[in-house]
Chains A and B, each alone.
Chain A
Amino acid sequence: MIATDETPLLRARGLKKSFGHLEALREGNLIVNRREVVAIVGDNGAGKSTFISCIAGAIKPDAGEVFLNGNPLELGSIHAAMRAGIATVYQDLAMAPDLSVAENIFLSTEIRRRGIAGRLGLIDHKAMRARASALMDELGITTLGDVTATAGSLSGGQRQVVAVARAVSRAGELIILDEPTAALGAKQSQIVLDTIHAMRERGFGVVLISHDLPRVLDIADRIVVMRFGRVVAEVAPKGQTVRHIVSLMLGEQSAAEESAGS
């Protein structure tokens, strides 16, 4: 497929994933364009995390395909997704609690020392600390004391902020955030939402999973609703109410529509 202006940044088609008998993801379809924030909403257990994990390579789907800029993405490979420019904030944050904040931010992308030392695999702790600190300052994150603290010693919210910072620093084209503000106070939430906004302005595609529907209505360009492992609706936030979205999530609206239609 040739990438044209109309080629979406991301196209996921027919993704399916079962855990034993449980069909966690029955039909995952998603299109994300550049400069676009797509929100995925759905009740607990609707399959949102499973869906984005299939796109990010953390889970290998049983069926389906993913294209980035029209090119097929190797499924089930975190490295392929990372190389293609996808960065992800997982719901569980994917941190190593015993490592420091700086080490977590650069986990698997460590800064090497210059010259022979670097070629021998030696890493530059000092540069990593300095850059991690600078990253926090750039994002305006104020909740964090010290980038040498271990991730395990942080509060849930602080850890979440670190995970967001890491994904922002790694993203090439697409950033996926699975409930990135769940544990955050008002101020740090705002920082994350501003960051999402800024990334979109810079041309990134953003996938945001959130249960905070008022915020979703505020920030998303499109809202994708999932129910029982399926994408069941896609709506533009303009003119939408939280109530209507909730009814879509729970299936009440469609039932009402169906009965009205028949």
Chain B
Amino acid sequence: MTLSNVKTDSEPAQESSRPKPAEQRSGPWSALLGSSALRSTTFYVACAVIALALIFALLTSGNFLSTPNLQSIGRNSAGLMLLAVGLAFVLGAGHIDLSVGSTLVLASVVSAKVTVALSGSGGAGWAITIGAICGVLTGAGMGLLNGVLVTRLRINSFVVTLGTMGVGIGLAQVITNGSNVIGLPTVIQRNFGVANWFSIPLPLLLALVVSLIGAGVLTQTAFGRHTLATGSSETGSRRAGVKVDRTTIGVFLMAGTAAGLAGFLDITRFGTTAISGHETTMLQALSAVIIGGTSLFGGRASVLGAMIATFISTVLLAGFVMIGVSSFYQRIAIGVVLIIAVWVDRVRQARANTT
């Protein structure tokens, strides 16, 4: 349609003065980072992680930066990172998933039980593979359940996932009668859980690959746009043609699947389950997501920020252990950082709304 008759003589100048769509340097990294605000958050978080590591290095006369210590931090971060990436999608869509920690435990239990049951008959590799698949599927099932409950019953996701959080951990206890699953084949640790590839712990490598795919999905696909649109304005998105329910189920499915994979990683680490060892895991992951620049109110999310912010809690914990401070202080520190992060998000939001 040409409506050039509408324009007055003075306008061609205006037209050329309009900034054309920014020809951003579109390297793969800047593309995955998203908007410039999120880019700066990611940068600050990365600086914070490095600063923390350097402080601990100073306090431990360099021991903190030893390869085994860094690898241990990496292994501790892998599962947390997966949870954080899943949560970044859920929060981006304007929801919350409190059940990811429980899902992790349930998936680890299913995964371990299946592996133990199968490793008697055939090879261990076989049993572990099937166990891993069952763990991931368990997570996916929990995620799907959350998504369906939120969209079909129209119940607030806080309430739904508070409920499934109890269901998940309860099921894990029912299945195991409360005691951790033992007797997993030792190769699960030797060949994967504590193994490295060029000094990088394999579980961390897996988490990094999955997370980077997640970053690509969020920033580069229609599903990613619909996720943020839904979190930004559910009614608006629906009226603009977004399949809001499908998107919502999708983000819960992703979070559950990621938690399922994290559950499998969990049993490869110590060769057993840790049913009561994940009470604060969900809060740690949630803190990482928010610290990493994802809005608690939906509409903005950063997978890369969440990935990097995961290291804040694992670096703090490792550092406190090394300098002999009780690990209880880690929880206090994370709590404080979380509150600061939410406050910064609020301020940022307020500023965005007034400009």
Contact = CB atoms under 8 A, between A and B. Distances in A.
Interface residues of A, number: 55
B317 interface: no
A180 to B, nearest CB: 15
A63 interface: no
A152 B236 contact: no
A213 interface: no
Contact of B233 (A95, A103, A109, A198): A95
Given A107-B225, A121-B223, A79 B232 contact: no
Interface string B1-34: 1111111000100110011111000100000000
A96 B220 contact: no
Contacts of B300: 98
A138 B233 CA distance: 28
A132 B353 CA distance: 23
A122 interface: yes
Given A79-B241, A99-B229, A121 B6 contact: no
B119 interface: no
Give the one of B220, B233, B235 with max A CB within 10 A.
Answer: B233
Give the one of A82, A96, A99, A194 with max B CB within 10 A.
Answer: A96
A121 B222 CA distance: 6
B240 interface: yes
Given A147-B21, A191-B6, A103 B225 contact: yes
Interface string A160-177: 000000101000000000
A221 interface: no
Contacts, number: 132
A93 B1 CA distance: 22
B6 A58 contact: no
B3 A195 contact: yes
B3 A145 contact: no
A155 to B, nearest CB: 11
A95 B230 CA distance: 10
A33 interface: no
B239 A88 contact: yes
Contacts of B220: 122-123, 125
B25 to A, nearest CB: 12
27 contacts: A94-B240, A95-B240, A96-B229, A98-B228, A98-B229, A98-B232, A98-B295, A98-B299, A103-B225, A103-B229, A107-B226, A107-B241, A108-B237, A121-B222, A122-B221, A125-B220, A129-B21, A138-B2, A139-B3, A145-B19, A146-B18, A148-B21, A152-B232, A152-B352, A191-B6, A194-B3, A198-B1
